[in-house]
Chain A
Amino acid sequence: MDISAITQYTPLFVQAFFLTVKIGWIGIALSLGIGIVCAFVMYFKIPVLTAIVRVYVELFRNTPLLVQLFFIYFGLPKLGLTISAEVCGALGLGLLGGSYMTEAIRSALEAVPASQRESALALGMGKGQLFGLITLPQAISSSVPAILANVIFLLKETSVFSAISLMDLMFTAKDLIGLYYDTTECLVLLVIFYVIMLLPVSLIGRAVEHRARFAIYGD
């Protein structure tokens, strides 16, 4: 293995790493925002909006990010809507992620046992107090494992950003391989950077899952 090649390429990879991470986390934040709003719409069964949300969720959960990105980046400009590659990446990730987050949050809300609801009502609590003091706190903690799993999934999905010419890690790797044929070195760096990006989150995810199981089952 050519160490000099590795040292030469590393700064390029670092740059790409930060770009990927930046767009990735903006997309994730967007997906959480969308997820919370849509999950609330579905949980409270708001008319009309619930149907729209359902269509949105099914559409985006059953299509790949790559197709969504191509559609937004190449297709929408034909309607007059031109978006930069970075915005497109964050938007695509946010829309895709939003559909997954909606499911995670909604099912956490609905998983709070009905008996909790009755206990709270029997104590004289109103609907607002029931939601804010009893349902929501329990839903938040039970949704964390699913949300973290989604975060890991979305971070992995950022690997398709190169398709819309974003100079992310994959783009850098492919570029350098094409130029210098130091395939092994580039692939090694590629793996290292993805590990840096994802391993911490994955370990946090496992730790949280353990704690969540402890909180429910106490063992």
Chain B
Amino acid sequence: MEALGFDVLLKGNNMLRLLQGLGVALKISLISVLISIGLGIVFGMLVSMKKPAINAVFNVYLEIVRIMPQMVLLFIVYFGTTKSLGLNLSAEAASIIVFSFWGTAEMTDLVRSAIISIPVIQYESSAALGMSRLQTQVHIIIPQTVRRLIPLSINLITRMIKTTSLVMMIGIVEVLKVGQQIIEANRKASPNAAFGIFATVFILYFIACWPISQLSKYLENKWAN
């Protein structure tokens, strides 16, 4: 145990602190995903109206998110806004803004293609049955859209959770940073802590993400129609 540095986990409340750090990651991801889903649905419906101006703006937005590493966006929002906008954003607020920016782009794209993929014939048959446009949206379109979105949104959560590891670079004390702190504190007592701690962090992230991605695969297969 000592040779691999796992003994550090049992000291004091180290394990608890690691778990709390993971909790920070999960919290940021969850808030960002919820914002992304909400905004994504709204924007998705907007964009699916096929107005060229809206499409152009959206495509630029999407390309920015596609190309820019999240880390760069974090730097821009956290360091950049202080300088140019005079805002003093907390690191946590900055991360939520960046993650939501990213997540909203993806969700908008998903919602748009989900809406577009519903065959026109469904709008026509609902109209033929005398349903109003609102009724068509509520009873026919939205339930199907939501169904298609769920496995993909779950996939997004998994990726967000993994990306939250980046926020340690702007000072947020999440699980990786806690790990570093523990290793630092135990430098003399447990020289091999780096192995055990980082292995544990590795496993913690795996435990956080894997079940969710399995759930996503299961749902995708189940709802393959």
Contact = CB atoms under 8 A, between A and B. Distances in A.
Do A and B touch (CB < 8 Å)?
Answer: yes
B69 interface: yes
Contact of B209 (A62, A79, A158): A62
Nearest to A59: B206
A70 B198 contact: yes
B202 A63 contact: yes
Contact of A71 (B76, B162, B166, B199): B199
Contact of A183 (B79, B192, B196): B79
Interface in A72-117: 74-79
A190 B198 contact: no
A66 B197 CA distance: 14
Given A67-B201, A70-B176, A191-B72, A184 B209 contact: no
B195 interface: yes
B5 interface: yes
Interface string A113-131: 0000000000000000000
Interface in B150-197: 158, 162-163, 165-166, 168-169, 176, 179, 183, 191-192, 194-197
A57 B176 CA distance: 22
A157 B166 CA distance: 10
Contacts of B199: 71, 75
A78 B194 contact: yes
Interface SS of chain A: helix, strand, loop or mixed? helix
A152 B195 CA distance: 30
A62 B79 contact: no
Contacts of B75: 170, 173-174, 187, 190
A206 B45 CA distance: 24
Interface SS of chain B: helix, strand, loop or mixed? helix
Interface stretch (B60-68, B121-129, B140-148): B60-68
Contacts of B198: 67, 70-71, 74-75
A50 interface: no
Contacts, number: 111
A156 interface: yes
Contacts of B225: none
Contacts of A79: 4, 195
Interface of A: 58-59, 61-64, 66-68, 70-71, 74-79, 152, 156-160, 162-163, 170, 173-174, 177, 183-184, 187, 190-191, 194-195, 198-199, 202
Given A59-B206, A70-B201, A159-B72, 18 more contacts: A62-B162, A62-B209, A62-B210, A63-B205, A63-B206, A66-B168, A68-B202, A71-B195, A71-B201, A75-B195, A159-B69, A159-B70, A160-B169, A187-B75, A187-B80, A190-B72, A191-B68, A202-B63
Interface of B: 4-5, 63, 66-72, 75-76, 79-80, 82-84, 158, 162-163, 165-166, 168-169, 176, 179, 183, 191-192, 194-199, 201-202, 205-206, 209-210, 213
